[in-house]
């Protein structure tokens, strides 16, 4: 619960507790609802079995409270009974939107006659008892705000308790009145008039006591107050209030009063069965005794045997009543006297009534205690939040500083400077993983502010903490190096015996990017226990920022190189495919006999289908018992046979090693010569040593042809045809197979090239997707450094921004900053779009922060001049051909001087006042761009000053809107049309102005789908803001 809610609820509850009658209580409740909500009508409903009683109601406009003195059940014109009967045991607020209910509910008499739009039922529970409802009605189409309903929910339990007690007291009063009315007018032994006066006085006493004790601050004071007041209406020689202490399992009496004196603190155990106090508490019922000695045994049969030790004098008349808190007994209230027959039934009712108020007072005490505890917790939380806010603010600035760099060296330097400003870290290192070399490059290594030479650490050096951190992706925290080192590197000696040269406190954090582990970062100190939890959390956050910055830096550094390499590779592959296609077509023309085979093979891009086609055509043209086509695998130095056939059946795949000199396939390829054997028993040893055994797959053939397959100078494989007959093949067969080998080699090479192209195409698509994701991530970075819309609405409530980037990231950006009484507003147009423009926007934002936030320059002209100097310096434009530039509109509003100053770099500002349009032109000189040494030092940016209190609307804009090509004639929108658009809509609300500008832009682009440039328009009225 919010502290403000608790304070208000406690104050209201204490005020409600002072109500002496149910009528005054109802009026206070309704007045409270009327003051805290926009309810148009509020009703208090009491639940009685299955029926409902409309106890009181109040309309907002009239202010009069309608109260029912009796307890008559409500009729259908009093309450929406059909809705109430549908609510069974609600624990939460019931909201009824009349527009969404069925026709039967809409037709209900109460709803129809009162023209209700919304009904809100807030249940009033006292523990597990539903007392009734607060019914909130709305006649308009807007319901009571949820925050107001929630506040009433906070009050609901206390209102339920008060209503329940008030109803009980009302019933008590009714019972008294009935008793008096039934008393005979001619008394015999009693005196009705005196009884009537006594009852009235007692009732008044109940209310007075209840009002006083409801505001007491302790049980002791409460006991004293009750003792003084109650003795005005009855004899209470002894009075006591006992409260349950559940922790100690006992009933405690902190301040017993006897004959006007307070007795010492005393208590009894809750499990004592011979105590009237515990019997009253456990049974949750009143004990009334007028003759102790004669009546006690009926309550405690073994009292004489186990009588407890008495505190105070002996008494004869006793009343014990339970004290209720939220429907549960939490204590007892007792009055006692030594007189016999001292207490009547009316006295008993009096004691029970007072005990109800004591329960309310205990509730007040608990609320006060909760309020005090809540205030203490709120103060502690506020201190924690302040400290956390300061840390988060510093971390946010550090994160922006780190992620705004696109150089690994600058990222490391910025991280070191940030860390060193917040913690004592004499040693700092950052290592980046070098995938090509398999090492960690320590490019940044600083000790006591001095940069040490770069070094590398091999990833095979597993005794290095940096390598362990990198490989395991785990943080390493050491507070005492000598004693903790072997926990991380077991069974290893320290790097040096001289412990004074070793840092004692170390933190290693892995740097993790989108593609995996990028490296590590470490800080070290020569003192033990130098780094606390704050330092560790700071390192973790900075490691995250460094990971983001490294991802960006590596992406941007490698982007152009990757694209260039992939483009060149695809061009080369395309040329290879075209060359192979030409060669296949030429071979087809030269070999007329193999035209059908060439046509079939040239249309196939699968190696398996080529082998199958070659086999089918070889069988048609030449025939043979066995066929094999082996593909040469250069990397594995083996020949891979797939789809080999023997006697019309396909053999399992097999391989021949190129180093196996017993294989004719290997000999054929290594010698690059054809092998033709027509009698294997006589001719085989021309190729093998006589001692070698001829290995075979399947049966031993008698006639064999092996022809190497080459495409240009590239070795493709070998083709073989075999027969179980001797002298099966002629020179024509060899020529045919030779030409088939040429065609097959080309086709297989083409298929391999195609498969390679397909793989590379998929790789290029993946790379392209990664590049796009990187650019989208750049947009997130760019968005993170721009002011958020919440800040803009705070600085300029009466304003709008229409920002539409041409690409994913934008070269147009805006900048807001508030310091002291000044508000700085800028719109910037980079002369580049996309990624280059986004990089310029990061540089521009950084320069604004440096010049305004850090250096404190306040004049807009001087700010632009300083930006021009830094852009030229940062981009080295005075020594390079770089011409990147910014067009800037800058406004400085000084609330203390009530002035608005404008300066423009190649831009203008529009002002509309009293229906007149003014165009304030800046200097026709951009920030940066082409460097002119002679004119550089003479550049000045003039400022224009206006009265901030004028009721005027100002517009800052880039040139993207007016340059947009569109319309039926596909021409630029134009500056004149753009200024007319601003003027024609300037009287509208800012949100409607933005809508008009956006719709006009989209309508203009209807016939031209491509956006020409980034677009940025900012409009504001400083007077209304």
Task: Write out 728-796 in H/E/C secondary structure.
Answer: CCCHHHHHHHHHHHHHHHHHHHHHHHHHHHHHHHHHHHHHHHHHHHHHHHHHHHHHHHCCCHHHHHHHC
Residue 547 near residue 511, CB atoms below 8 Å? yes
Task: Tell me whether residue 416 is exposed, middle or buried, using C-beta atoms within 10 angstroms of its C-beta: 0 to 12, 13 to 18, 19 or more.
Answer: buried
User: What percent of the chain has pLDDT above 70?
Assistant: 87
678 φ/ψ angles, rounded to the nearest 5 degrees: -110, -10
> What digits encode the pLDDT tens for the residues 881-933?
888 999 999 999 999 999 999 999 999 999 999 999 999 999 999 998 888 87
Q: Would residue 37 count as lying in a domain?
A: yes
Other beta carbons within 10 Å of 957: 26
- Which residue, among 701, 716, 711, 681, has the nearest Cα to 627 in the 3D structure? 701
Direct distance between the N- and C-terminal alpha carbons of the chain, in angstroms, rounded to an integer: 33
d(CA 427, CA 524): 5
Average pLDDT, integer, range 956-981: 93
Domain with 614 in it? 591-752
The answer to which of 599-608, 690-699, 817-826 has the lowest mean pLDDT is 690-699
User: What pLDDT, on a 0 to 100 scale, did the predictor assign at position 178?
Assistant: 43
Same domain, 992 and 932: yes
Q: Indicate whether 666 pLDDT > 70.
A: yes
Q: Are residues 9 and 129 in the same domain?
A: yes
Strand ranges, E, within 77-200:
94-97, 118-126, 129-138
Q: Which of the four pLDDT bands, split at 50, 70 and 90, describes residue 842?
A: confident
Q: Round the average pLDDT of the chain to a whole number and report it.
A: 84
Q: Tell me which residue of 328, 331, 362 sits closest to 245, measured CA to CA.
A: 331
Q: Are residues 164 and 222 in the same domain?
A: no
| Residue 302 half-sphere exposure toward CB, CA atoms < 13 A | 5
Mean pLDDT, residues 80-106: 88
Distance, CA of 180 to CA of 571 (rounded, Å)? 114
In this predicted structure, the answer to whether residue 5 has a pLDDT above a threshold of 70 is no
Quote the pLDDT of residue 695.
61
Last residue in a domain, options 752, 773, 806: 752
Q: Which residue has the tokens 């790097």?
A: 495
For residue 1002, give both structure tokens: 């989209």
In the chain, % of residues over pLDDT 90: 33
- Higher pLDDT among residues 693 and 263, named by residue: 263
Query: Max alpha carbon distance in the chain (Å)?
Result: 157
Note the pLDDT of residue 196: 37
Residue 442 has pLDDT above 50, yes or no: yes
Give residues with Cβ within 8 angstroms of 230, minimum separation 6: 205, 209, 236, 239, 335, 350, 354
Q: Between the CA of residue 343 and those of 237, 278, 349, 359, what are the distances in Å?
A: 12, 21, 10, 22
Please determine, for residue 705, whether its predicted confidence score (pLDDT) is greater than 70: yes
Predicted local confidence at residue 180, as pLDDT: 37
**Which CATH number belongs to the domain containing residue 225 in this structure?**
3.30.450.40
Task: Identify whether the C-beta of residue 543 lies closer than 8 Å to the C-beta of residue 395.
Answer: no
**Residue 509 pLDDT more than 80?**
yes
Q: What pLDDT score was predicted for residue 603?
A: 65
The predicted structure's pLDDT at residue 899? 96
Tell me, what's the pLDDT at 195? 34
pLDDT bucket at 595, cuts 50 / 70 / 90:
low
Q: Would you place residue 777 in the very low, low, confident or very high pLDDT band (cuts 50, 70, 90)? A: low
What is the pLDDT, as a whole number, of residue 154?
Answer: 87
Query: Is 685 within the bounds of a domain?
Result: yes
Distances (CA, A) of 521 to 397, 437, 461, 506, 803: 19, 20, 17, 11, 39
506 and 617 share one domain: no
* Residue 950 burial by Cβ neighbours in a 10 Å radius (0-12, 13-18, 19+): middle
pLDDT at residue 951, as a whole number:
92
Mean pLDDT of all residues in 612-616: 85
Structure tokens at 724: 């179980």
Q: How far is CA 1014 from the centre of its chain?
A: 30
Residue 822 belongs to a domain: yes
Asked if residue 671 is part of any domain, the answer here is: yes
Asked if 878 contacts 919 with a C-beta cutoff of 8 angstroms, the reply is no
- For residues 708 and 805, membership in a common domain is answered with no
For residue 826, what are its two tokens? 């800028």
Q: Tell me how many domains the chain contains.
A: 5
Are 135 and 219 members of one domain? no
- Where are the alpha helices (H) located in 300-344, listed in sequence order? none
**CA of 530: how far to CAs of 185, 480, 481, 482, 505, in Å?**
94, 9, 12, 14, 6
Distance CA 258, CA 235 (A): 11
Look at residue 355 and give its three-state secondary structure. Answer: helix
Give yes or no: residues 108 and 16 share one domain: yes
Whose tokens are 């998929």? That residue is 762
- pLDDT value at position 690? 59
The answer on 103 and 53 residing in a single domain is: yes
Residue 60: the pLDDT is: 84
Q: How high is the pLDDT of residue 353?
A: 83
Task: Name the 3-class secondary structure at 486.
Answer: helix
> Please, which pLDDT band fits residue 173 given cuts at 50, 70 and 90?
low
Q: How many CA atoms lie within 13 A of 311 on its CB side?
A: 18
Task: Name the token pair of 855.
Answer: 């250096």
**pLDDT at residue 290 in the model:** 94
Q: What is the pLDDT of residue 496?
A: 72
If pLDDT is split at 50, 70 and 90, which confidence band does 407 have? confident
- Chosen domain end from 301, 336, 362: 362
- Which residue would you say has higher pLDDT here, 404 or 851? 851
- Tokens at 76, concatenated: 């259908």
Q: How confident is the model at residue 1025 (pLDDT cuts 50, 70, 90)?
A: low
Residue 368 located in a structural domain: no
Residue 790's pLDDT is what? 80
DSSP one-letter code for 853? I
Q: What is the pLDDT of residue 559?
A: 57
CB 948, CB 866: distance < 8 Å: no
Place of tokens 């006692």: 336
Both tokens assigned to 171: 């019933």
Which string of DSSP letters, residue by residue, matches 371-391?
Answer: HHHHHHHHHHHHHHHHHHHHH
Q: Do residues 795 and 907 share a domain?
A: yes
DSSP state for residue 585 in the 8-state scheme: H
Does the residue 99 lie in any domain? yes
Q: Rounded to whole angstroms, how far apart are CA atoms 910 and 953? A: 8
Inter-CA distances, 519 with 202, 322, 350, 509, Å: 85, 72, 81, 9
Whether the CB-CB separation of 226 and 213 falls below 8 Å is answered with yes
User: What is the model's pLDDT at position 759?
Assistant: 77
Residue 32 lies in a domain: yes
Lowest mean pLDDT segment, chosen from 383-387, 505-509, 690-694, 815-819? 690-694
**Selected residue with higher pLDDT from 593 and 920:** 920
> Of 392-396, 502-506, 795-799, 871-875, which gets the smallest average pLDDT?
392-396
Q: What is the CA radius of gyration of the chain?
A: 48
**505-513 and 250-253 beta bridge pairing:** unpaired
Neighbours of 405 (CB within 10 A): 21
* Distance, C-alpha 940 to centroid of its chain: 46
What is the distance of C-alpha 869 from the center of its chain? Answer: 41
Which of 338, 362, 386 lies at the terminal end of a domain, its last residue?
362
Check: pTM over 0.75? Answer yes or no.
no
**CA quadruple 306, 309, 314, 317: dihedral sign:** negative
Q: Residue 418: its pLDDT value, please?
A: 81
Residues 791, 748, single domain; the answer is no
Is residue 194's pLDDT more than 60? Answer: no
Residue 775 corresponds to which tokens in the numbers above? Answer: 């650019």
* Both tokens assigned to 864: 């632009």
Query: What is the CB-side half-sphere exposure of residue 788 using CA atoms within 13 A?
Result: 5
Which of 202-211, 705-714, 913-922 is least confident? 202-211
Give residues with Cβ within 8 angstroms of 1019, minimum separation 6: 799, 800, 953, 954, 955, 956, 982, 990, 993, 994
Structure tokens at 636: 């594995």
One-letter-per-residue 3-state SS of 923-963: ECCCEECCCCHHHHCCCCCCEEEEECCCCEEEEEECCHHHH
Q: Residue 341: pLDDT above 70?
A: yes
**Which among 344, 330, 326 has a CA at the least distance from the CA of 289?**
344
Q: How many residues does the chain have?
A: 1025
- Report the run of H or E that residue 573 belongs to, with start and end: helix 533-590
Q: Looking at the structure, tell me whether residues 10 and 128 fall in a common domain.
A: yes
Q: Which two tokens stand for residue 586?
A: 């030429």
The reply to whether 813 and 949 lie within a common domain is yes
pLDDT at 435 (0 to 100): 86
Enclosing H/E stretch for 192: helix 192-213
**H helix or E strand, kind and range, residue 1017:** strand 1015-1020
- What pLDDT band is residue 192 in, cutting at 50, 70 and 90? very low
In a domain, 825, yes or no: yes
The CA distance from 358 to 1011, in Å, is 76
């Amino acid at each position: 619960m919010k502290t403000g809610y608790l304070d208000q609820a406690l104050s209201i509850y204490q005020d409600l507790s002072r109500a002496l009658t149910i009528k005054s209580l109802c009026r206070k409740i309704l007045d409270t609802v009327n003051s805290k909500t926009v309810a148009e009508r509020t009703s208090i409903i009491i639940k009685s079995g299955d029926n409902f009683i409309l106890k009181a109601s109040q309309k907002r406009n009239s202010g009069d409270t309608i109260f029912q003195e009796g307890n008559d059940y409500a009729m259908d014109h009093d309450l929406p009974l059909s809705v109430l009967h549908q609510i069974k045991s609600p624990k939460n607020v019931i909201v009824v939107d009349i527009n969404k209910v069925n026709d039967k509910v809409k037709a209900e008499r109460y709803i129809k006659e009162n023209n209700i739009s919304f009904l809100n039922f807030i249940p009033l529970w006292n523990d597990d008892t539903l007392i009734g409802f607060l019914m909130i009605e709305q006649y308009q189409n807007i319901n009571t705000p949820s925050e107001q309903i929630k506040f009433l929910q906070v009050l609901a339990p206390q209102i339920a308790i008060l209503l329940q007690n008030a109803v009980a007291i009302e019933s008590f009063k009714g019972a008294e009145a009935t008793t008096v009315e039934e008393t005979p007018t001619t008394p015999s032994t009693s005196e009705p008039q005196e009884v009537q006066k006594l009852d009235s006085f007692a009732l008044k006493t109940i209310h007075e006591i209840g009002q006083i004790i409801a505001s007491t601050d302790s049980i002791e004071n409460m006991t004293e107050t009750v003792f003084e007041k109650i003795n005005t209406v009855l004899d209470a020689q002894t009075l006591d209030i006992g409260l349950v202490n559940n922790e100690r399992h006992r009933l405690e009496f902190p301040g017993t009063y006897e004959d006007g004196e307070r007795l010492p603190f005393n208590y009894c155990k809750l499990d004592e069965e011979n105590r009237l106090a515990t019997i009253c508490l456990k049974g949750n019922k009143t004990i009334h005794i007028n003759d102790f000695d004669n009546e006690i045994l009926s309550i405690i049969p073994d009292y004489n045997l186990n009588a407890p030790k008495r505190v105070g004098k002996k008494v004869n008349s006793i009343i014990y009543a339970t004290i209720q808190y939220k429907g549960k007994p939490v204590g007892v209230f007792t009055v006692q006297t030594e007189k016999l027959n001292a207490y009547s039934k009316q006295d008993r009712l009096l004691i029970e009534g007072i005990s109800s108020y004591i329960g309310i007072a205990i509730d007040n005490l608990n609320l006060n205690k909760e309020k005090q505890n809540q205030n203490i917790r709120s103060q502690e939380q506020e201190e924690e939040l302040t400290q956390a806010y300061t840390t988060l603010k510093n971390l946010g600035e550090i994160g922006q500083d780190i992620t705004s760099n696109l150089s690994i060296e600058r990222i490391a330097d910025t991280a070191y400077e940030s860390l060193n400003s917040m913690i004592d870290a004499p040693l700092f290192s950052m290592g980046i993983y070098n995938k090509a070399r398999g090492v960690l490059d320590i490019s940044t290594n600083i000790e006591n502010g001095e940069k040490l030479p770069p070094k590398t650490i091999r990833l095979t050096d597993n005794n290095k903490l940096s390598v362990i951190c990198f490989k395991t992706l785990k943080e390493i925290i050491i507070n005492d190096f000598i004693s903790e080192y072997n926990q991380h590197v077991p069974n290893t000696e320290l790097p040096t015996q001289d412990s004074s040269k070793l840092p004692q406190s170390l933190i290693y954090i892995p740097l993790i990017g989108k593609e995996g582990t990028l490296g590590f970062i470490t800080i070290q100190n020569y003192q033990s226990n130098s780094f606390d939890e704050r330092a560790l959390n700071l390192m973790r956050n900075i490691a995250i920022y460094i990971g983001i910055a490294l991802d960006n830096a590596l992406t941007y550094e490698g982007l152009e190189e990757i694209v260039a390499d992939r483009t060149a590779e695809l061009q080369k592959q395309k040329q290879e495919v075209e060359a192979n296609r030409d060669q296949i077509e030429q071979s087809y023309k030269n070999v007329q006999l193999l035209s059908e085979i060439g046509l079939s093979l040239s249309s196939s891009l699968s190696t398996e289908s080529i082998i199958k086609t070659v086999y089918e055509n070889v069988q048609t043209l030449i025939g043979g018992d066995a066929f094999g086509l082996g593909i040469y695998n250069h990397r594995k130095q083996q020949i891979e046979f797939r789809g080999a056939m023997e006697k019309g059946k396909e053999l399992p795949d097999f391989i021949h090693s190129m180093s196996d000199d017993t294989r004719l396939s290997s000999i054929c390829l290594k010698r690059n010569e054809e092998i033709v054997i027509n009698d294997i028993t006589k001719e085989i040893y021309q190729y093998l040593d006589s001692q070698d055994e001829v290995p075979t797959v399947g049966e031993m053939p008698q006639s064999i042809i092996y022809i190497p397959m080459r495409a240009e100078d590239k070795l493709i494989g070998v083709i073989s045809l075999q027969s179980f007959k001797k002298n099966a093949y002629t020179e024509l067969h060899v020529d045919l197979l030779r030409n088939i080998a040429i065609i097959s080699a080309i086709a297989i090479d083409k298929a391999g090239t195609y498969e390679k192209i397909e793989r590379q195409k998929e790789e290029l698509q993946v790379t392209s997707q990664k590049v796009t994701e990187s650019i989208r991530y750049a947009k997130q970075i760019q968005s993170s450094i721009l002011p958020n819309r919440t800040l803009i609405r705070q600085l300029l409530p009466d304003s709008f921004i229409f920002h539409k980037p041409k690409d994913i990231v934008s070269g147009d950006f805006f900048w807001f900053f508030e310091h002291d009484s000044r508000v700085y507003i800028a719109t910037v147009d980079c002369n580049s779009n996309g990624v280059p423009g986004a990089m310029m926007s990061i540089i521009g934002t950084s320069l604004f922060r440096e010049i305004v936030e850090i250096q404190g320059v306040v004049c807009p002209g001087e700010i632009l001049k300083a930006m021009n100097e830094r852009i030229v310096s940062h981009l080295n434009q005075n020594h390079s051909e770089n011409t990147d530039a910014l067009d800037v509109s800058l406004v400085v509003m000084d609330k203390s001087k009530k002035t608005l100053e404008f300066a423009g770099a190649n831009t203008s500002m529009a002002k509309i006042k009293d229906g007149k349009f003014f165009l304030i032109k800046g200097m026709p000189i951009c920030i940066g761009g082409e460097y002119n040494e002679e004119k550089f030092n003479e550049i000045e940016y003039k400022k224009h000053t206006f009265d901030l209190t004028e009721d005027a609307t100002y517009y800052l804009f880039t040139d993207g809107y007016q340059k947009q090509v569109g319309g039926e004639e596909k021409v630029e929108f134009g500056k004149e049309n753009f200024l007319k658009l601003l003027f024609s809509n300037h009287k509208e609300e800012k949100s409607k102005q933005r809508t008009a500008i956006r719709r006009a832009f989209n309508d203009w682009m209807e016939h031209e789908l491509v956006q020409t440039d980034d677009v940025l328009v900012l409009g504001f009225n400083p007077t209304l803001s």
